[in-house]
Chain A
Amino acid sequence: MSLEEYVVEIADVYKEYKMGKVTIPALQGISFKIYREEYVSIMGPSGSGKSTLFNVIGGLDTVTSGEIYIDQVDIAELDAYELAWLRNRKIGYIFQTFNLLLAFTAQENVETPMVFAGRPREERRKRSREILELVGLGDRLKNKPGQLSGGQQQRVAIARALANDPAIVLADEPTANLDLVTGLEIIELLRKLNEEQGTTIITATHDLKMINISDRIIWVRDGRVDRIEDRTDVQVSAIS
Chain B
Amino acid sequence: MSLDLPDPHFSLGEVIYLSFANIRRRFLRSVITALGIILGITFMAALLTNSLILGLMQAETGVEAYQFWLVGISLVVCFGGITNSMLMAVNERVKEIGVYKCIGGLDSHIIRLFIVEALFLGALGGTIGAIIGMGIGILINLNRFPIEDLTTQIASSSFTFVLMFGLCLFISLVLTALATFIPARRAANMSPAEALRYEN
Q: What residues on B are CB-neighbors of A234 within 8 Å?
A: none
**A84, B105: Cβ atoms closer than 8 Å:** yes
**B99, A101: Cβ atoms closer than 8 Å:** yes
Q: What residues on A are CB-neighbors of B194 within 8 Å?
A: 61
Q: Does A197 contact B (CB under 8 A)?
A: no
Task: A81 to B4: give the CA distance in the assembly, Å.
Answer: 11
Q: Which bucket holds chain A's interface residue count? A: 35 or more
Given that A87-B101, A112-B103, A118-B10 are contacting pairs, would A62 and B191 also be in contact in the complex, using a CB cutoff of 8 Å? yes
* Interchain residue pairs A-B with the least CB separation, the first 6: A88-B104, A118-B9, A61-B193, A60-B192, A103-B25, A55-B193
Residue of B nearest to A56 (CB): B193
Q: Does A82 contact B (CB under 8 A)?
A: yes
Q: What residues on A are CB-neighbors of B17 within 8 Å?
A: 121
Q: Does B87 contact A (CB under 8 A)?
A: no
**B3, A87: Cβ atoms closer than 8 Å:** no
Q: What residues on A are CB-neighbors of B3 within 8 Å?
A: 73, 78, 82, 85-86
Task: A103 to B24: give the CA distance in the assembly, Å.
Answer: 10
**B105, A116: Cβ atoms closer than 8 Å:** yes
Given that A78-B3, A82-B5 are contacting pairs, would A116 and B193 also be in contact in the complex, using a CB cutoff of 8 Å? no
Rounded to whole Å, the gap between the CB of B109 and the closest CB of chain A is 7
Interface centre among B8, B109, B192, B194 (most CB of A within 10 A): B192
Q: What residues on B are CB-neighbors of A100 within 8 Å?
A: 99
* Other 6 A-B pairs with CB < 8 A, given A87-B104, A87-B192: A55-B191, A86-B3, A115-B14, A116-B103, A160-B103, A163-B103
**B8, A79: Cβ atoms closer than 8 Å:** no
Task: A91 to B187: give the CA distance in the assembly, Å.
Answer: 22
**B25, A115: Cβ atoms closer than 8 Å:** no
Task: A80 to B111: give the CA distance in the assembly, Å.
Answer: 14
Q: Does B143 contact A (CB under 8 A)?
A: no
**B99, A118: Cβ atoms closer than 8 Å:** no
Task: A58 to B18: give the CA distance in the assembly, Å.
Answer: 26
Task: A55 to B193: give the CA distance in the assembly, Å.
Answer: 7
Rounded to whole Å, the gap between the CB of B165 and the closest CB of chain A is 33
Q: Does B106 contact A (CB under 8 A)?
A: yes
1/0 per residue, CB under 8 A from B, across A64-75: the answer is 000000000100
Rounded to whole Å, the gap between the CB of B69 and the closest CB of chain A is 43
Q: What residues on A are CB-neighbors of B25 within 8 Å?
A: 103-104
Residue of B nearest to A119 (CB): B9
Q: Does A113 contact B (CB under 8 A)?
A: yes
CB interface residues, A 99-147, toward B, < 8 Å: 99-101, 103-104, 108, 112-113, 115-118, 121
Rounded to whole Å, the gap between the CB of A159 and the closest CB of chain B is 12
Given that A55-B193, A77-B1, A103-B26 are contacting pairs, would A88 and B10 also be in contact in the complex, using a CB cutoff of 8 Å? no
Task: A101 to B17: give the CA distance in the assembly, Å.
Answer: 17
Task: A55 to B103: give the CA distance in the assembly, Å.
Answer: 13
Q: What residues on B are CB-neighbors of A101 within 8 Å?
A: 96, 99
Residue of B nearest to A160 (CB): B103
Q: What residues on B are CB-neighbors of A104 within 8 Å?
A: 25
Q: Does A89 contact B (CB under 8 A)?
A: yes
**A61, B1: Cβ atoms closer than 8 Å:** no
Residue of B nearest to A163 (CB): B103
1/0 per residue, CB under 8 A from A, across B68-102: the answer is 00000000000000000000000000011011111
Task: A229 to B107: give the CA distance in the assembly, Å.
Answer: 40
**B99, A99: Cβ atoms closer than 8 Å:** yes
Q: Does B132 contact A (CB under 8 A)?
A: no
Q: What residues on B are CB-neighbors of A86 within 8 Å?
A: 3
Q: Which residue in A60, A78, A121 is a CB contact (below 8 Å) of B102?
A: A60
Q: Which residue in B26, B99, B100, B106 is a CB contact (below 8 Å) of A80?
A: B106
Q: Does B196 contact A (CB under 8 A)?
A: yes
